[in-house]
Chains A and B, each alone.
Chain A
Amino acid sequence: MADVTTHVDEVRTRRVTNAALGIRRSILQMAEVQGQGYVGQGLAVADVLAVLYFDRLRYRAEDPEWEDRDRLLLSIGHYALALYAALGEAGVLDKSELPTYGADDSRLPMSGMSTYTPGMEISGGSLGHGLGIGVGMALGLRHQGRNAHVYDYLSDGELDEGATWEAAMAAAHHRLGGLTAIVDVNALQADGPTANVLKTESVTEKWRAFGWAAHRVDGNDVPALLAAFDAAQREDEHTPRAIVCDTLVGRGIELLENREKAHFMRIDDDEWATCRTQLEERYAR
């Protein structure tokens, strides 16, 4: 039995890892066409998005509005680049559309907009909104007797916003086991390192204090992520779950992993080829 479990885990890990590589390739492609974008953050969250779309979410690629689907809310709307890549990998978007990212009249704007893009559940970007909407969706879905799960993807910077904690209290009060917060901790905000802008640690303890079941995991370690999502699923059915994911800005590309961290990561014209090469080399290991 142990062998079977191990084998299943290996299959899951391989599937998710392959998807994460595809997501990273698309992120690079889109960012190069646009010459800018949240490349560093996108690369950081690629593994979590791969886990979501290739292991956890129930959705129909050909019917993004399927009413019993699990919902992934991109509260961090400026990470749209990464979600488009994931939607392309998942077949919700045609990959041929991805290079239109950020172009005039594209369905793929720089910051996520629900009215523009199939599979984009909310218009995030004004930070601190996603969790409150997630509370309403989870309440509404439970009221309707649907068992669809709601995931809100937010960042450590969003923990500065009081609205996040209003929603966190409401979720625990209403016993919303159908809601999971995925907290991306890349320790970086617009004005610099999170620790300097506004100290948010201890993040995990904060969620627990608000009545959530919280897990913390290396958000770039696929087997560990799968285990953390599995563990979160086993939590009490009336308790909302938080999965705090520590991620590395620029993950997967050595040049960017080692570059000075900035909200907007600078990539010179002659560096894109190096990025592509380094990404393939990393995954070929």
Chain B
Amino acid sequence: MSDAKAKRATTSAMIASIADADQRRSAAPFGHALVALAEERSEVVGLSADLSKYTDMHVFAEAHPERFFQMGMAEQALFGAAAGMAEVGLVPFASTYSVFATRRAYDFLCLDSAEPGLNVNVVAALPGLTTGYGPSHQATEDVAILRGMPNLTIVDPCDAIDIAQAVPALADVPGPTYMRLLRGNVPVVLDEYDYRFALGAAAELRSGRDVILISSGLMTMRALEAAQRLAEDRVDAGVLHVATLKPLDLDTIGRLARGDRLVVTLENHTVIGGLGESIAAGLAFAGEPRNIVPIALPDEFLAAGALPTLHDRYGLSTDRVVERVKQALAA
């Protein structure tokens, strides 16, 4: 143990997985889910922009080589071609990194797929802060970029189970979708809860009298861990998992945010334009404004480095979440 502790955390060692060393994991859940879906639906195809190996699309490409289309390092062509395939009745899943899907190719997702309402499914790896490679790879504002796009469904799954169940649901959505992908060895968490992914529905994983943690993506995992730790200190914290960011389940969120519990939002995204702001605005627009403690990334370009170090520095680690909640309760 002391040896492991002494080992210096490095950027490269931490890029592959967000799972803790002792956590249960599942390899490439997206790739396997797409293979399973493809066996049921012959119109499912896959595309990538020179990142199939790094978005778990390679599992599909190996299983169905004739249904996989390599578009090269060209994200505009990737989304244009995906739209063309959807136009002729196929159901494409197009994978790249979140930074390229959003910053580089927005116009091609917006006009080629969202405006005509085509069934194009974007699978975007490295959302938020899930790589230590610095701003070129950290899509800290991907949801903020995409939320204003009409017709687009946005999902932010928590773990391997969420991803596997989301894939067929996304194919069933007639319009375009964007999934924030967790790749590689992905934690398995939600099987311990009475949970099934349902598009557009937030799920209460744990109830609590003192605090309600409203989270999406990998931050739901952190919220569940934080809730357990808070329980040891006799703080009763509930967790509401919001896997679908758009359309947002404001009915459920509004119901659970009522009362005098502390409301905390947790997201792997900049504090601007993501889950926290969506909820704050949604509740205020509905005439039920609430004070909210936002746990999110700061509005700045983040550092490069090892992921655990960065999650701790920017407030996403379980330790920091617990600390922040306790501070807010004390205030």
Contact = CB atoms under 8 A, between A and B. Distances in A.
- A joins B in a complex: yes
Interface of A: 67, 113-115, 121-123, 126, 128-129, 131-141, 143-144, 146, 162-163, 166-167, 169-170, 173-174
B72 interface: yes
Given A136-B84, A163-B80, A163-B108, 17 more contacts: A67-B88, A114-B116, A122-B87, A123-B115, A126-B107, A132-B76, A132-B112, A133-B84, A134-B84, A135-B81, A135-B84, A136-B85, A136-B86, A140-B85, A146-B88, A166-B77, A169-B72
Contacts of B112: 122, 129, 132-133
B69 interface: yes
A133 B81 contact: yes
B77 A132 contact: yes
Give the one of A114, A115, A170, A173 with max B CB within 10 A. A170
Contacts of B71: 170
A132 B113 CA distance: 12
Nearest to A128: B76
A139 B117 CA distance: 20
A162 B80 contact: no
B74 A166 contact: yes
B79 interface: yes
A140 B76 contact: no
A140 B80 contact: no
A139 B69 contact: yes
A67 B89 contact: yes
Interface in B85-129: 85-90, 92, 107-108, 111-112, 115-117
B218 interface: no
Nearest to B90: A140
A133 B72 contact: no
Chain B interface, >50% SS class: helix
Interface residues of B, number: 29
A139 B79 CA distance: 13
Given A114-B116, A136-B82, A173-B72, A123 B88 contact: no
Contacts of B84: 132-140
B102 to A, nearest CB: 16
26 contacts: A67-B88, A123-B111, A123-B116, A129-B80, A129-B107, A129-B108, A129-B111, A132-B81, A132-B108, A135-B80, A136-B84, A136-B86, A136-B87, A136-B92, A137-B87, A139-B84, A140-B85, A140-B87, A144-B88, A144-B89, A163-B76, A163-B77, A163-B108, A167-B74, A167-B76, A167-B80
Nearest to A170: B77
Contacts of B90: 140, 143-144
B87 A133 contact: yes
A133 B83 contact: yes
Interface of B: 45, 66-67, 69, 71-72, 74, 76-77, 79-90, 92, 107-108, 111-112, 115-117
A169 B83 CA distance: 17
Given A128-B76, A132-B108, A162-B76, A170 B81 contact: yes
A48 to B, nearest CB: 22
The 7 A-B residue pairs with the shortest CB-CB distance in the complex, in nearest-first order: A132-B80, A136-B84, A136-B81, A166-B74, A137-B84, A166-B77, A163-B76
A211 to B, nearest CB: 13
A15 B74 CA distance: 42
A140 B72 contact: no
Contacts of A132: 76-77, 79-81, 83-84, 108, 112
B87 A169 contact: no
A121 B77 CA distance: 18
A265 B115 CA distance: 30
B87 A121 contact: yes
B50 to A, nearest CB: 12
Contacts of B85: 136-137, 139-140, 143
B189 to A, nearest CB: 36
B88 A137 contact: yes
A64 to B, nearest CB: 13
A115 B79 CA distance: 19
Contacts of B45: 140, 143
Given A121-B87, A123-B111, A129-B111, A115 B72 contact: no
A113 B45 CA distance: 26
Given A133-B87, A139-B69, A140-B85, A115 B80 contact: no
A121 B88 CA distance: 11
Nearest to A179: B84
A127 to B, nearest CB: 10
Contacts of A122: 87, 112, 116
A174 B67 CA distance: 13
